[in-house]
Amino acid sequence: MLEAVAGTRNGNVALRDGRMLGFDDIGDPSGSPILYFHGFGSSRLVRHPDDDIAGRLGARIIAVDRPGIGRSSRQPGRRLLDWPHDVRELADKLGLERFAVLGWSGGGPYALACAWVMPERVTVVGLVNGPAPLAGVRPVDYLLRTHRAAARAADRAPWMIRVAMWRWARAQRRDPERHLDEAIAKMVEADRALIADPTVRALMLANAEEMKRQGGRGLYDEALIMARPWGFRLRDVRVPVLLWHGDDDPSVPVLMGRYVAEELPDCRAAFYPGEGHHLLFDRWEEIIAAVIA
């Protein structure tokens, strides 16, 4: 069973435009810094529940809520490339000259954006089951019909995405336990086994409340960003990238991971047969050790 360890340091910083950015600061305060970016539909809480792992490895992990999520103020109309500027301010205030970035699932594009904007400060990028672009790319075989529909809606009828996110959030608010159980039922066996751990399940239920602390518009902003062009090309990311991806991931198909690995100039990728979208929980120690190495 995974065990949660107390000692997380909660923080907030005021950005120049008056917004607040919330984060958890875990591990060794003088350790190798990693800025961790949570997935879509989650918050800074969705990470391995044993925060002591970071300390044992000599890592300092700053898990940051994106605008409109958790403890971070919303930024209306934001785009993917707005995020690196928030991260730069956060790093400056924390006294971090250079740092690694680690993105799980929907946090992957944000990690890559930071590397593209700040190659002089980002030492390495860790991607765990991260998606490929849904829009602004040549015809590719990883795009599902739902991906194409989302990209069209973001361009022509963003209200459709807002309605879809409202319905999703409403079902979660009405009965978080049932909503989680329905999501688990659609997962592959490897993911169901990980989420069955009581500590991880409790973390997921806590996240259901935390990610909507600022209201539901942050989730809508996230969905629009995922469906729109990123604003840079993968081939122009010059920072080294470490990539982990489960072959059986139904949420972010492995074809996406393989495309990202092929497009990035400097990427070391590992694909895991039989593993799914939540391998982050099972391989957290391995991932952190590789990123700080």
Q: What predicted TM-score, i.e. pTM, was given to this entire model?
A: 0.93
DSSP per-residue letters across 73-131: PP-TT--GGGHHHHHHHHHHHHT-SSEEEEEEGGGHHHHHHHHHH-TTTEEEEEEESPP
Domain boundaries, the chain: 9-292
Per-residue pLDDT at 90 exceeds 50: yes
What is the C-alpha to C-alpha distance for residues 198 and 81, in angstroms, rounded to an integer? 37
CATH number of 9-292: 3.40.50.1820
Work out the average pLDDT over 117-134: 97
State the chain's mean pLDDT as an integer: 91
pLDDT of residue 288: 98
Average pLDDT over residues 21-27: 96
Q: How far apart are CA 100 and CA 91, in angstroms?
A: 11
pLDDT, greater one: 18 or 153 = 18
- Closest listed residue to residue 160, CA positions, set 100, 204, 223: 223
Using the predicted structure, report yes or no on whether residue 4 has a pLDDT greater than 50.
Answer: no
Q: Is pLDDT of 247 > 70?
A: yes
Residue found under tokens 């002089």: 120
Between 267 and 168, residue with greater pLDDT: 267
Instruction: Taking each helix axis as running N to C, give the angle between helix 83-94 and helix 108-117, from 0 to 180 degrees, rounded to the nearest 10.
Output: 70
Report the candidate in 77, 121, 117, 118 with the shortest Cα–Cα distance to residue 95. 121
The reported pLDDT for the residue numbered 8 is: 66
**Average of pLDDT values for 206-221?**
87
Is pLDDT larger for residue 148 or for residue 14? 14
